[in-house]
Amino acid sequence: MKKHNFSAGPSILAREVIEKTAQAVLDFNGSGLSILEISHRSKDFEAVIEEARQLFKEILEIPEGYSVLFLGGGASMQFCMIPFNFFEKKAAYLNTGVWASKAQKEAKGFGEVVEVASSKDANYTFIPKDYVIPTDADYFHITTNNTIYGTELHTDIDSPIPLIADMSSDIFSRPMDVSKYALIYGGAQKNLAPSGLAFVIVKDELLGKVSRYIPTMLNYKTHIAEGSMFNTPPVLPIYSAMETLRWIKANGGLVEMQKRNVAKAELLYNAIDSSKMFVGTAAKEDRSLMNVCFVMKPEYKEFEAEFLKFATAAGMDGIKGHRSVGGYRASIYNAMPVESVQALIDCMNEFEKQH
C-alpha cells in the first residue's frame, strides 16, 4: 500500500532527494566512503556546503551583506542565540503559537520583553493584526507559520525596527523579500532536510552591537568567520539540504513552489469547507498553506478516533492533530504531491459516505 506522509516534522522530502542522500550514505561522490564518515574539512564536503550556501542565496534572492549559516542545535537553540546577539535593552515578540511563546520566554531571561499582541486566548486560531511595534525595542520577533495551529503570515511585514523571523516550516514555500529581515532562521526538518540542522540568514552589519559577552558558540560572528565550520557541522542534513535546493531550483523555484502549494491547500480546504462532517480550525484569512488543521463537527465528534484509524489504514500517515488542537493535521509541504492530497480527500469522502 502506498503511504502518504502528512507528518508535521520530520516530514516528507522529495523522493529523489531521499534516493540521492541514500546513495551518498553508501558511496559519496564515488569516493568509496560514506557521507557519514568523510571529513567535514575534505574538499568534497566543502563543495557541498558552499553549493548549499549559494543555492540559498540564489533561490531566495538574498541581497549582498547577508550571511547564510548552517548550525546545530535546531531552531530552539536560536531562541537564546538571537537575544545573545541582538538584545541590549528591550525586545518585542508577536505571540502566535507554542514556538513563538517559547522563543519569547527565552528572551525574558535577557531583560524587558514586550508582547505586542497574542492570539493565545483564542487558542492561536488567528494571526493578530493592528498591533503597534515599539520603536525603542532592539528587534521584533515573529513566527511566520504555526505548525500546531495551522496559521500563517502570507506576506513580508514592514517593521520600523530589525525584524527577526522563525521560518522553520514555510521557508522556500513562496517568494519573499529577504531585505525586510534582520535575521531569518529555522529548523530544517519541515521543508528542507532531515532534523539536526538549523539555518540562519543574518544581516552582517547588525551584529556586534551588544555590550554583553557572547559565548563563542552562540556568537553569529564566530560562525560567519569560520564558514559554519567552527565545529563539526551536521554533515548529512547539509547534504540533503543541498539536494532539496537543487530539486526546488529544477522544479521552477519559489514561484512554482507557491503555485503548487496554493493549489494543494485550496483543494484540501475546499473539501473541508464543503464537508458535512469536518470543519477547519484556523481563521480563513490566516490559514496555513503548509499545515491544514481540521476537526470533526460537534455532532460527529464520536467518530474522531474511528476516522483516524480509517485514514491510517488507508495509508494516510501522520495526520493526527496536535494534542492542544485535537482532530487532524495534514502537513502539505513543498515535497507533498497533489496526488496525496487528493488521496486524503477521497478518504474523507469515503468515510463520510459510510457515516
Q: Which of 20, 138, 190, 320 is catalytic?
A: 190
Domain that holds residue 322: 253-354
Taking each helix axis from N to C end, the angle separating 235-250 and 15-26, rounded to the nearest 10 degrees, works out to: 140
Q: Where residue 339 falls among pLDDT bands split at 50, 70, 90? A: very high
Average of per-residue pLDDT across 176-203? 97
Q: Kindly list the distances between the CA atom of residue 189 and the CA atoms of 56, 152, 168, 260, in Å, as whole numbers in the listed order.
A: 16, 18, 8, 20
Q: Which of 20, 99, 170, 203 is catalytic?
A: 99
The answer on 192 and 323 residing in a single domain is: no
Beta pairing partners, 67: 202
The last residue of a domain, from among 215, 250, 285? 250
Q: Is 190 a catalytic residue?
A: yes
Q: Which of 20, 138, 166, 170 is catalytic?
A: 166
Residue 326's pLDDT is: 93
- Looking at the predicted structure, is the pLDDT value of residue 62 above 90? yes
Q: What is the pLDDT of residues 260-281, one digit of tens each?
A: 999 999 999 999 999 999 999 9
The answer on 310 and 168 residing in a single domain is: no
Average of per-residue pLDDT across 118-142? 97
The last residue of a domain, from among 250, 285, 314? 250
Task: Give me the number of domains the chain comprises.
Answer: 2
Q: What's the order of all strands across the beta sheet hosting 140-143?
A: 66-71, 198-203, 183-187, 163-166, 140-143, 90-95, 112-118
Question: Do 331 and 318 meet the contact criterion of CB atoms below 8 Å apart?
Answer: yes
- CATH number where 212 lies: 3.40.640.10
CA-closest candidate to residue 80, choices 109, 38, 115, 118? 109
This prediction's pTM: 0.97
Residue 56 is which amino acid? F
In a domain, 6, yes or no: no
In a domain, 102, yes or no: yes
Q: Where residue 1 falls among pLDDT bands split at 50, 70, 90? A: confident
Q: Is 99 a catalytic residue?
A: yes
Q: What is the pLDDT of residues 278-325, one digit of tens each?
A: 999 999 999 999 999 999 999 999 999 999 999 999 999 999 999 989
Question: Do 136 and 90 meet the contact criterion of CB atoms below 8 Å apart?
Answer: yes
Question: Do 219 and 85 meet the contact criterion of CB atoms below 8 Å apart?
Answer: yes
The answer on 297 and 201 residing in a single domain is: no
Residue 226 is inside which H or E element, if any? Answer: none
Residue 53 is which amino acid? R
The last residue of a domain, from among 214, 234, 250? 250
- Taking phi over 0 as left and psi of -120 to 50 as alpha, with beta for the rest, 312 belongs to alpha
The answer on 220 and 131 residing in a single domain is: yes
Q: What is the pLDDT of residues 133-161, one digit of tens each?
A: 999 999 999 999 999 999 999 999 999 99
In a domain, 312, yes or no: yes
For the chain, the average pLDDT equals 97
Strands (E), 130-245: 140-143, 145-146, 151-152, 163-166, 183-187, 198-203
In a domain, 8, yes or no: no
Residue 216 sits at φ, ψ, to 5 deg, of -50, -50
